[in-house]
Amino acid sequence: MKTAKTLFIALLLIAVAPLTAQTADEIIDNYFENTGGKDAWGNLEGIKISGSVNAQGMEIPVDVIQTKDGKQLVTINFQGQEIKQMAFDGETLWTTNMMTMQPEKSDAEMNENMKQQAKKDFPSPFFNYAEKGYSLELMGKETIEGTETHKVKLTKEPMMVDGKEVPNVTYYFFETENFVPIATQSEVQQGPMKGQTMTNSMSDYQEVDGLYFPFDMGISGQNLKVKEITLNPEISEGMFAFPE
Amino acid sequence: MKKLLYTLLILALLPISTSAQETALKGKELFGDMEARHIGPALMSGRINDIEMHPTNTRIIYIGTAGGGVWKSNDGGATFTPIFDKHVQSIGVVTLDPKNPDQNIWVGTGETWTRNSVSVGDGLFKSTDGGTNWKEVPGFENSERIASIVINPNNTNEIYVGVLGALWSDSEDRGVYKTTDGGKTWNKILYVGPSTGAADVIMDPENPNVLYASMWQFRRTGWSFSSGGENSALYKSTDSGKTWNKIHNGFPKGDLGRIAIAVAPSDNNILYSVLETEEKDKNGLWKSTDAGKSWEHLNNDFGLTVRPFYFSRITVDPKNPDIVVKGGLTGSISRDGGKTFKNLGNMHADIHDITFHINDSDIMYSATDGGLYRSWDGGSVFEIVEDLPLSQFYHISTDKAEPYNVYGGLQDNGSWYGPSSSPGGVNARDWNSVGYGDGFRVLKHPTKNIIYSEMQGAENVWRYDVDRNRTRTIQPLPKKGDAELRFNWNAPMAVSTHAPDRFYMGSQFVHKSEDMGETWQIISPDLTTNDPKKQDQSESGGLSVDNSGAENHTTIFTIAESPLDENIIWVGTDDGNVQVTTDGGKNWNNVTENLTGIPANTWVYHIEASLHGKGTAYAVFEGHTTGDMKPYALKTTDYGKTWKSIISEDIQKNAFVRNIQEDYENEDLLFLGTEMGLYVTIDGGKNWSHFTNNMPPVAVHFIDMQKQTNDIVMGTHGRGVIIIDDISPLRQLNASILEKDVHFFDTEAFTMPEESGFSGSFGTETQFVGGNKPTSARIAYYLKKRHTFGKMEMEIQDMEGNKIASLSPGKSKGINIVNWNYTSSIPKMAAGKTLSYGGFTAPRVPAGTYKVVLTKGKDKYETTIDVKYDEKSLTTLKERKEQEQLTKQLFNMVEELAYMVYELGELQNKANSVIENHPKGEKQAQKLQDELEDLRKDLVITTGDNYVAAAEPELRERMADLYSNIAGSFSRVTASQKQNLELISEEFTEAKKRYSTIKNKEGEKFMKFLDKNELEKPTIKTKEEFLSED
C-alpha cells in the first residue's frame, strides 16, 4: 500500500512539473521540485544509505554516509567484520587494505580530486551548481533503457590522473516524463577500462521524509539495493578520520 | 494547467484506461537490454585507413579504420577504445583541431583506399568534446568518401575538406571545400569534373595560405577499375584556395593517375610526390626543392609504384626532411631525401598510413590491412597492437559444437575458426587458421570434423581434416570440353543438410560433389548473363594494370539448397540473375523477370531458402557497384513466380543489403544485414528496427542463426564476429504482448553446466578478449514502461514459496534479461579476525522447477523456470543427491558454528562489561572470559591477516573449506572428503561439548552473579533471528 501511495505521489509530482523543458536549468529545477523541493534539499546536513550489493549469492551489506561538509564513509560487512572500504574526513582519503586489514592513505592525486569535489557534490552536484564552478549543457534527447530522456552534460573542474589534467564530465539522463535521472555516463580515466564509458543506472525512487531517492542503483555492473535511507544521521568526527 | 492536473489525477486513479494509441512493433525499446557481444578476433585485426597523432599529448592517438569506426588510445597506443559507434564505420580521415586538439575532432567518413571491397561513408562529423558526442556537419551528405580535412592553425575556423567522392558513379559532390566560419557554411573552391575527386589536400606548414591538392580521375564497376585520365593533376594555391594552378613542371606528358603529395614539416620548400603515369619509368617518387616550381624524378622502385589506388601516402619525418616513408605492399623508407629506399620491417602487408611520434622519430605507427603496428627503432622492427578487433569478415558460419564455433574468412587475413565462448573469454589464442590469402566462405562438414575453406577466386579450395591435420585442395577444375570457369573473388560454396558429404560450388555453373570435393559434376548451364563486356579483366586498373581477380564478373555468388527438399536449389548471380531448380539441377528456371522493383543486373548477394515452405525464399540485392545504395529484399512463396518487397521506410536510405536470416520458428521474425548495421522485423518486414545495443552500424556481410542456442551470429566487415545471444524472446513478441505491463517470455529448461577448467591469462593485458555467452538461467520479460518510481524486486523461490535467491531485475522498457547462476545464498559465517574464503561459496540448487516472482509496486508477477542437470555430467543421480545432502549438512554446520561464535561473543561482551564496571564480579567474569576466549581461539582465527601473515586455519576455516570444496564441485564426494567431514564433525561436537561445559559451570556462576546484583543478562538473538539478519 505504501508503494501505491508513493506511485500516486509520483504521478502528482509529474503533474505539477512543466511538461516541456527547454533548458538544462529547467530540467534541474524540475528535478529538485519533483523530488522534494530545492529548499528541502538545501537543508540536508547528511545522509546515510544502508543497503546491500548483490553479487550472485552474496549479499554484502553496505553503509554509505555523506555529509554536507564533504565527509564520506563506505562501510562493508564481510563475515561479521566491519570494513571501512573508503573514508574521507574532508582532508584525507583512505581505504582498508584487504590483505592486511589495515588502513592506507590513497594517492595524492585521488585525494586531491576527492577534496576538490566531495563538498560540492552534496547533496547533488546540480545543487547551486553555478556557484560551485560547475557548468551544464543540454545535449538533446536520447533513449536510455528504452525510455526517452534529456541528456545533460555536467562539467566539473578538471582532475589530475596519472600526472595529466583530464576533463571531469558526467552525462545525466533525466527521464522526460518525470525529470529524475535514471542513468549517468562517464569515461573511465584509468586502469584496464580506461577510455571506456561507464554507465550507472538509478530506479526505484522512493520518498524519505519528503525527499526522493533512488533505492536501486546499478554501479559498474553491480546493483546497490537500498534498504533504508536516514536523513541527517548521527555521526561522530572520528568515524571518518584516518586512524593514526 | 488545472485541466492537465485533473486529467493526470484521473489517470492515476484509473490506471486501466490506457492510451488508445496503437502500439508500434518497432523501435529501439523493443530490444530493451538485449545486448550484442563482440568476440573479435583481434588476432587478425583489420584495415586501417588513417592515423592521427595528438599534436602535444603523446598519450593520445586516433585511428580511422576501413570498416570499424574511429578508435582512440589514451595510453600511447597500447590499447584503444571505439569512440564513433553510433555512426557509419567506414572512415576516410581523422583530423584534430590544432588549437583545441583535446576537444575538437573532425571525422571524414568513407574509406579512401578504393579496393573492390570498400564500404561507403556517410558525411562529415565533428565532436567538440574529445569524441564523446558527434554531430554531422551539413553539406557532405553525398560525399561518399572524404580524403582530407585541413585546418589553418592560426585560424581554426578556416577549414578545407577534400572530397574524393563516389567510387562507382559520377558525382558533382567531389572537390575541395572551404569554410571560414568553423563549418557552418561551405564553398566548393576546386572542382574538376564528376569523375575526378580530391585525393589529397595539404597545407604548407608555415604559410597557411599555401595549399596543394591532388585531383584524381578514377572509377570502379563490378567488373573493372580505372585509375587515371586527363583530369588527374596536382594543383597549388597561394591565396587560400581562391585560385589554383597546376604544378607539373618536369612531370611527363600524358594522363596521370593517383598522385600522392607531402610537404616536409621542417622545410616547406621540399615537396615529395608519387605519380602514376603513362610512362612506366617515370612512375614513382618525384621531389621538388622549390615548393613545386620544378620537379625531379628520383625513384621508381616497386615499393613506390605498386598499386597507387591502394597505397598513396607519403610521410616525412617531422624533424628531418630527408627521411621519407611511403605506404605500399611492405612500406618503404628513405634516409637520403628519397634517392634510395628500403622496405620497412616485417609486419602485415599493405601499409596505408605511417606516422611519427611527435617527440621521438624512432617511434612510428603503421596502418595496415591487418591492424596497427608500432616500431620503437625507426621502422626496422614492428609489433602489432593486440587490442583492435577490426576483422573484416566476408562470410561466417557456425557448427553444432558446445560451445559452438564460428568459421569465417577475412579480407587479406585468411580463414579462421574459433569458439563462441571460452574459459576467461574468447582470446586470441582460441582462434585457428584454416586458410591463406583472402578468406571468404568457411563451412564445417555437417557431421565430420572437416572444414572447407577457400581463397580469392577459388584459386584454392581446401578440405581440412582437423583431427588428422591433413589438407587437400579440391576446387572444381575444367575438364575436356568445359568452358573456362569464372569464379567470383568471393566464390560461393554450400553444404547440404540432406547429404552430409555433398558440397556445392559456383562458377558460372553450379558444381556439385557427393564426395566432399573429390569428384565434381556440373549441374547447370551458365546461369549468368554471360555478358562478354564484363569479362575482360586483363586490362583492368587504368594506368597501372591491376588484375588481381577481384573484378571477375558474371559469376554465381550465392547457392542455397532448400532445407526441406534437396532437389530445390536457388542460385543468385553477381549480374542480377535469380535461378531456381526443383529437380536437383535437371531444369533451371530463370525467375529474374519476376523480380519487382530491382534494377536490371543488380547483384544478388544472398538467397535464403526458407524452412517455412518449399517455395519460400528470400533474396537480397545490392547495387552499390553501380552507385545504387538503396536497400532491396524480396520474398517469394511460390518458387519465384511472384515476389514482394519486405523493405520499409524504417531502413536508412543508403543501407544496402548484403544478407538476410530468417528465424527457424517464427516466419515473421527476420534479421537483415545491411551496410549500416543490423535491422530486425517481428512482423515479416512491415516494420524494421535498427538494433543498436552495443552494435555499431557496421557492415554486416553475413548472418547465421545457431539452432541450438538461438543466437544470431554476424560476420561484420570491420568489427569481427558479433553475437546476440538467444533471440527467442523476439520470437514471442507480438502486439498483444506489447500491450501488457509485464510479460514473462517462455524459456526452455536451462542446463546447469558442470564443466570447469583453467584460464591462465598472463601476458594478455593489452589483448582484446571477447565476451562469453552467459551459462546462467536467463529470465526474460517485457516491461511496457521503464520502472522508475517505487520498489521493483525479483526473487527465485521454490514451489512452496520459500526464497532461494534475490536477483536484481532490469527496469528497462522493452525486453529485460536477468541472469541467475542457479545458486542460493552463501552461509552466514562465524566472525573471526580474517576472512574465511570458503564461506563465499553459494550452494547450487537441485534440478527442478522454480518460481520467479517479480514484485513491482503492489503488483506481483510470476513465472516458472526449469533447471536441469548437465547431460554431460560424470556423476550418477544418487551420487549427486549425496553431494547435495552433504553440502546442506556442511552449510548448516557452518551456520551453527557462526551462531555459537556469536553467542559466545555476546557472553564475552557481558563478561567484559562486568570486568570494567563491577569490581565485585571481576574475578568471576574474568574466568568466564578466559575460558570462552580459549575456546574461541580454537573455533576461529583471531590473529594475523589475509595474506602472508595469515594464522593457521581453525575449525571455521577447515569446515568452510570442506563445505566449499563439496558445494562447488558437481561430482561424487570423495572418500577423502567424507573422512575429513567425519573429523570436522567430531571436532565440532567436541567444541560444542566444551562450550556447554563452560556455560554450565562458569557461565551458570556468572548468571547467578548477574541475578544477584540485578544486572541485565546478555540479550541473545535466537538462531533464526541471527541467521536472517545481514
Which strand (E) or helix (H) includes residue A70? Answer: none
pLDDT band at B275 (very low <50, low <70, confident <90, very high): very high
The domain locations on chain B are 879-1028
Give per-residue pLDDT as tens, A175-234: 999 999 999 999 999 888 889 999 999 999 999 999 999 999 998 778 899 999 999 999
Say how far apart CA B38 and CA B425 lie, in whole Å. Answer: 11
Say how far apart CA B716 and CA B676 lie, in whole Å. Answer: 10
Q: Of A1, A78, A192, which has the smallest distance from its Cβ to B835's Cβ? A: A78
Give the pLDDT score at A56.
Answer: 61
Cβ neighbours around B685 below 10 Å, total: 23
Peptide bond into B532 cis (omega under 30): no
Sheet holding B332-334, edge to edge: B314-316, B324-326, B332-334, B342-343
What is the ipTM metric for this complex?
A: 0.90
Higher-confidence residue of B171 and B15: namely B171
Q: Name the DSSP class of B114.
A: -
Test mutation, A99, A145, A175, chain B, max B CBs within 10 A: A145
Give the pLDDT score at B20.
Answer: 36
As a residue count, chain A comes to 244
C-alpha torsion angle, residues B227, B231, B232, B233 (rounded to 10): 170
Say how far apart CA B634 and CA B332 lie, in whole Å. Answer: 49
Q: Which residues 6+ apart lie within 8 Å of B867 measured at CB?
A: B749, B750, B751, B752, B777, B822, B845, B847, B848, B850
Q: Name the DSSP class of B277.
A: B
- Provide the residue type at B315 as one letter: T
Residue A61, classed as helix, strand or coil, is: strand
A36-74 in b/e form (b: 16+ CB < 10 A) is bebeebeebebbbbbbbbbebbbbbbbbbbbbeebbbbb
Give the pLDDT score at A21.
Answer: 58
pLDDT band at A20 (very low <50, low <70, confident <90, very high): low
B918-945 in b/e form (b: 16+ CB < 10 A) is eeebeebbebbbebbeebbeebbbeeeb
Q: Which residues 6+ apart lie within 8 Å of B586 measured at CB?
A: none
Q: Of B33, B805, B814, which has the smallest distance from its Cβ to A57's Cβ? A: B805
Q: Of A12, A19, A146, which has the smallest distance from its Cβ to B786's Cβ? A: A146
Contact B4 A100 (CB under 8 A): no
A112-151 in b/e form (b: 16+ CB < 10 A) is ebbebbbebbbbbbbbebeebebebbbbeeebbbbbebbb
Pick the closest to residue B857 from B774, B932, B789 (CA basis): B789
Higher-confidence residue of A99 and B72: namely B72
B15 pLDDT exceeds 70?
A: no
Q: How far is B778 from chain A (nearest CA, A)?
A: 13
Domain A2-240 has CATH 1.10.8.10: no
pLDDT band at B725 (very low <50, low <70, confident <90, very high): very high
Which strand (E) or helix (H) includes residue B1029? Answer: none
**Long-range contacts formed by B334-337: CB under 8 A, 24+ apart:** B334/B299, B337/B270, B337/B287
Q: Which residues of A touch B75 (CB under 8 A)?
A: 194
Inform me whether the C-beta atom of residue B79 falls under 8 Å from chain A C-beta atoms. yes
Predicted TM-score (pTM) of the model is 0.94
Cβ neighbours around A172 below 10 Å, total: 27
Say how far apart CA A118 and CA A89 lie, in whole Å. Answer: 10
Place of cell 585560424: B155
Place of cell 551459462: B775
Sheet holding B415-419, edge to edge: B393-398, B405-410, B415-419, B432-435
Q: What percent of chain B is modeled with pLDDT above 90?
A: 91
Q: How far is B859 from chain A (nearest CA, A)?
A: 9
Size of interface A-B (CB pairs under 8 A): 167
Residue B214 · residue B259 · CB < 8 Å: yes
Q: Which residues 6+ apart lie within 8 Å of B292 measured at CB?
A: B212, B234, B236, B247, B271
Cβ neighbours around B364 below 10 Å, total: 27
Residue B790, classified by CB atoms within 10 Å of its CB into exposed (0-12), middle (13-18) or buried (19+), is: buried
Say how far apart CA A126 and CA B178 lie, in whole Å. Answer: 41
Pick the closest to residue B419 from B773, B698, B719, B46 (CA basis): B773
Q: Mean pLDDT throughout B28-32? A: 84
Give per-residue pLDDT as tens, A34-63: 999 999 999 999 999 999 998 766 888 999
Residue B1016, classified by CB atoms within 10 Å of its CB into exposed (0-12), middle (13-18) or buried (19+), is: exposed
Say how far apart CA B114 and CA B130 lie, in whole Å. Answer: 29
Contact B787 A204 (CB under 8 A): yes
Q: Of B130, B945, B1030, which has the smallest distance from its Cβ to A61's Cβ? A: B1030
Contact B72 A195 (CB under 8 A): yes
Q: What is the longest distance spanned by two Cα atoms in chain B? A: 120
Give per-residue pLDDT as tens, B990-1002: 999 999 999 999 9
Q: Mean pLDDT throughout B898-916? A: 95
Q: How far is A131 from chain B (nearest CA, A)?
A: 23
Per the prediction, chain B carries an average pLDDT of 94
C-alpha cell at position B942: 583471531
Higher-confidence residue of B943 and B267: namely B267
Task: State the pairing for strand pair B628-636/B644-645.
Answer: antiparallel
What angle separates helix B877-917 from helix B955-968, to the nearest 10 degrees?
160
Q: Mean pLDDT throughout B758-787? A: 91
Residue B693: left if φ>0, alpha if ψ -120 to 50, beta else—which one? beta
Q: Which residues 6+ apart lie within 8 Å of B330 measured at CB?
A: B303, B343, B344, B349, B351
Say how far apart CA A46 and CA A66 lie, in whole Å. Answer: 6
Find residue B408's DSSP bridge partners. Answer: B396, B416
Give per-residue pLDDT as tens, B558-592: 999 999 999 999 999 999 999 999 999 999 999 99
Q: Which residues of A touch B9 (CB under 8 A)?
A: 12, 15
B761 pLDDT exceeds 80?
A: no
Say how far apart CA B695 and CA B691 lie, in whole Å. Answer: 7
Q: Name the DSSP class of A162.
A: T
Task: State the pairing for strand pair B689-691/B700-706.
Answer: unpaired
Q: How far is A182 from chain B (nearest CA, A)?
A: 7
Give the pLDDT score at A6.
Answer: 46
Give the pLDDT score at A8.
Answer: 46
Q: Which residues 6+ apart lie within 8 Å of B140 measured at CB?
A: B108, B123, B124, B146, B161, B163, B173, B177
B548 pLDDT exceeds 60?
A: yes
Say how far apart CA B99 and CA B156 lie, in whole Å. Answer: 7
- Provide the residue type at A77 as one letter: N
Residue B524 · residue B517 · CB < 8 Å: no
Give the pLDDT score at B30.
Answer: 86
Q: Which residues of A touch B786 (CB under 8 A)?
A: 145-147, 175, 182, 203
Kindly report the three-state secondary structure assignment for every residue of B324-349. Answer: EEECCCCCEEECCCCCCCEECCCCCC
In Å, what is the CA distance from B443 to each residue of A3, B78, B396? Answer: 56, 35, 8
Q: Which residues 6+ apart lie within 8 Å of A126 measured at CB?
A: A28, A31, A32, A134, A136, A154, A172
Q: Mean pLDDT throughout B835-856? A: 95
Q: Name the DSSP class of B241.
A: T
Whether the CA torsion B400, B405, B408, B414 is positive or negative: it is: negative
Residue B972 · residue B879 · CB < 8 Å: yes
Q: Which residues of A touch B902 (CB under 8 A)?
A: 80
Pick the closest to residue B724 from B669, B767, B648 (CA basis): B669
B809 alpha-carbon distance from chain centroid: 26
Q: Which range among A98-107, B534-543, B604-613 has the greatest average pLDDT?
A: B604-613
A80 alpha-carbon distance from chain centroid: 27
Give per-residue pLDDT as tens, A94-134: 999 988 889 999 999 999 999 999 999 999 999 999 999 99
C-alpha cell at position A44: 540536508
Q: What angle do CA B118, B122, B127 make, to 5 degrees?
A: 120
Give the pLDDT score at B10.
Answer: 35
Give the pLDDT score at B19.
Answer: 39
Q: Mean pLDDT throughout B235-244? A: 98
Cβ neighbours around B912 below 10 Å, total: 13
Contact B789 A204 (CB under 8 A): yes
Task: State the pairing for strand pair B314-316/B443-444.
Answer: unpaired
Per the prediction, chain A carries an average pLDDT of 89
Contact A145 B824 (CB under 8 A): no
Chain A residue closest to B837 (CA)?
A79
Place of cell 543508403: B654
Say how far apart CA B415 and CA B336 lie, in whole Å. Answer: 40
